[in-house]
Amino acid sequence: MNKRGPKKTPTAILKLRGTPRAKTRRREPKPNLGEPACPRGLSAKAKTIWRNLTPKLLTAEILTVVDGAGLVRFCELYVLWREALAELRGAKRIIEQANGVKSANPLFKIVNDLSRELARLEQAYGLTPADRAGLSVNKDALNETEDEERFFGSTA
């Protein structure tokens, strides 16, 4: 289910603007910054994207240790999207079917579907600051034996 309304402004930007709303985001998850382990079995092209993307995300202080699964899917889907796009560039835009009916090349649908899925993954896994700002965690619902520091980071 999609969230209603515009995306929330990232807390870091609210702080830079000096707005009091930044102080109201106490429940926003704050996973530890860091690079998740690059998993075995990732395709060679996806590993190249991983190795190119992770340092940039770390420098921007966006990547956290819990972003691995989303990043894997993103890298693999990005490779598929690029391959489909390259094939589409070399193909006819309009094709004629066996019955003589002309239609759009099915590669258009593949490229569009992959584009939508990439955007959905970015949102679902909070891979952009705006998406991460829209997440919240109910601290009261946590098991009392859980170490809050592990989930929410330092409160200082």
pLDDT (tens digit, 9 = 90+) per residue, 42-81? Answer: 999 999 999 998 998 888 777 889 888 888 999 999 999 9
Query: In the chain, where are the structural domains located?
Result: 11-138
* 78 three-class SS: helix
Between CA 30 and CA 152 the distance in angstroms is 5
Binned at pLDDT 50, 70 and 90, residue 139 comes out as very low
Residue matched to tokens 């994207």: 49
pLDDT of residue 156: 41
For the cut 50, the answer to whether the pLDDT of residue 103 exceeds it is yes
pLDDT single digits (tens) 121-134: 777 665 666 766 76
Containing H/E element for 96?
Answer: strand 94-96
For the cut 60, the answer to whether the pLDDT of residue 140 exceeds it is no
